[in-house]
Amino acid sequence: MIVRSKPNLIAILFSLKGSIAKRIALRCLLLTVLASLIVLAETWHPDYFAKVNATPFTLLGLSLSIFMSFRNNACYDRWWEGRKQLGQLIIDVRSLIRESQVLGDGPQRTALLRELCGFAHGLIARLRLEDERQAIQPWQQDAPTAGHPNVTDQLLQRIGARCSSLAEQGLISEWRYTVFAALLASLSQVQASCERIKHTPLPFPYNLLLHRTIYLFCILLPFALAGPLGWLTPVFTAIVGYTFLGLDEIGDDLEDPFGFDENDLPCNAILRTVEREVLACLGHSDLPPALEPVDYVLT
């Protein structure tokens, strides 16, 4: 995630960190070259372009802009929903840390809180299609069951069983166990919500129609501009192409917010926050440092 103060005019014009300009530069260049060739053809054979009118492109551009705004709003909703769910993860972990104080500083509380860290790491690994068992293993004594379809949820079940055992032993009251169960249910909802975002992309025909229309519009636009604008056509084609292709690329970034792109959510920083707060409550003084933005990027 890009973290920086409000940029000045120079930074707005020349900043590349977090920008999609690098990813669409080649396509914009190809559109510019195509527009130059079309202008050259219009110069040699102006009769072929005499009947081309820009009105249909105006209407198509307006419709395409509205269509893209709907898609980008849907993609941003996914990004923001992911951030809210990871925020809820931190809230639930902090609440469990507070409620677990009733256990004192014994091994039961240590195991419980370390398993919460393991759950957070397993969840992020699952969302990034990484090895959940490897992410969880440093935080619990017993290795997760090999071959389980959902190792992260298995760990949450183990935490629930631990809380149930504490209630049966009389180490926590029934009321306290109810609070623990409610917080674990909230963690389960966080996992299910994040998995829903990860595994339910926007409908493919929706994206396909938008991609095709963008490329069709950008390729045909120089035919309408070549006559009235002449050699200014490549410039305006590049600007329009940068706008539409850039918005399309931003939507692709926001659609999956749990990855490693510069504009994705800072999952590593959120995990580090969970680690630091759990370890601090367990009496550790050598806490891992909080992650800071590197070249404006918070991972």
pLDDT at res. 187 = 94
How far apart CA 214 and CA 221 sit, in angstroms, is 11
pLDDT for 144 equals 63
What's the pLDDT score for residue 48?
66
Strand-pair partners of 297? 2, 294
Q: Which pLDDT score, from 0 to 100, does residue 190 have?
A: 94
Cα angle 181, 78, 238 (rounded to 5 degrees) comes to 165
Q: How far is the C-alpha of 172 from the C-alpha of 177, rounded, in Å?
A: 7
Per-residue pLDDT of the chain (299 residues; tens, 9 = 90+): 666 666 665 655 556 666 677 888 888 889 889 888 888 887 787 766 666 666 777 777 777 888 888 888 888 899 999 999 999 999 999 999 998 888 887 888 888 888 999 999 999 999 998 888 888 888 887 766 666 788 888 889 988 888 888 888 888 888 888 998 999 999 999 999 999 999 988 888 888 888 888 888 888 888 888 877 788 888 888 888 888 888 888 888 888 899 888 888 898 999 999 999 988 888 888 888 887 877 666 67
pLDDT at 6 (0 to 100): 65
pLDDT for position 17: 61
Q: What is the DSSP letter of 138?
A: G
pLDDT at 195: 94
Q: Count Cβ atoms within 10 A of the Cβ of residue 66 and give its class: 0-12 exposed, 13-18 middle, 19 or more buried.
A: exposed
